[in-house]
Amino acid sequence: MKENKIQYQMPLEFVKKVQATLQEKKSLEGELKYTQKDGREIWFQNSIMPILDDNAKQIGEVIVRYDITEKKNFEKMAITDPLTGLYNRRYFNEILAREIKRSQRDKTRLALMMIDVDYFKKYNDSYGHKAGDDALVAVADSLKNSSKRASDFVFRLGGEEFGILFTIEDEDKAFAFAQLVKKNIEKLQIPHSNSKISKHITISVGLLVVNFENEMVDENGFYTMADDALYQAKASGRNQVMMHENEELDFF
C-alpha cells in the first residue's frame, strides 16, 4: 500500500527570504507553523544550507526539517492557564518586564488593566464551582475578543483576576478601551443573583497608563499602581473603571 504523505508548502515570504539567503551563499534557520484543515498546528524547525562546488559556485541546497510540534506544545503549556487558555501569571511577569524595557527604549505609553470579576465568591456559592469555571472561561473569551491589536496581551493572573497589557497612544484611548472591555462583559448577560450591583456578572477595572517618554517605573511599581487603581474601583462601588493618577512617577 502506498503511504500518503502530507505536503506542507512554505509561505511565500519565507521562500523569498530563503532565496535571498542562498544567493548570498549563507545558511538559514527558522521555525515555521502550519495549520491543518482540522485546526491542528504543526511546527517545524528548518535548516537550509547551500551546496557549493570547488569554485564556490552554488550547485544545490540541503534542507533539514525537524518536527518540533511536541516541544512547542510543552512551551505553550508552560505559559498558558489550563482553564481559560489565556497567558498565565508566570508569563505575565516575563512579558511585563520585557514590554517595560521596550517602552523605555521606544519612549511609548504602556498601559495595564487589572480586572476583577465582581462578587465572584458569591457566584460560586450560588451556582457551584463548575458554573464558576464556565463563567471564568466566558469572561476570558470576551477579554480576548476585545483585545485585537498585536500589542495586546491578555492574562489570567489568578482566581477571578485578569490583566490586559497594551501599548496605547494616549490616556483617553486607554480609558475608552477599558470601558469597552467592561461593557463587553456586561453584554454576556451571565446571571448573578447574589451580586450587590447587578443581575449579571460585571467586572471592576483598575487602569494604569505610563508615558515612558518622561516617566520611569519598574515592573513592581507598575503592577502595584495598577493594583491600587483596581482596589479603588472596588472600594468605590465596583462595576467601573478607575484610572491611577500620579503626576510624578519615579518608582524603583
Domain regions of the chain by residue span = 12-74, 81-251
The CATH architecture to which 12-74 belongs is 2-Layer Sandwich (3.30)
- Positions marked active-site: 160
pLDDT at 241: 98
Q: b vs e for 84-96, b when ≥16 Cβ sit within 10 Å of the residue's Cβ?
A: bebbbeebbeebb
pLDDT at 6: 53
Average of per-residue pLDDT across 30-51: 80
Q: Do domains 12-74 and 81-251 have the same CATH topology?
A: no
Which pLDDT tens digit goes with each residue over 187-233? 999 999 999 999 999 999 999 999 998 888 999 999 999 999 999 99
pLDDT at 14: 64
Q: What is the percentage of the chain residues whose pLDDT exceeds 70?
A: 88
- Which range (6-10, 90-94, 132-136) has the least confidence? 6-10
Distance CA 34, CA 40 (A): 8
- pTM of the full structure: 0.75
pLDDT at 2: 47
Fold annotation for 81-251: Alpha-Beta Plaits (3.30.70)
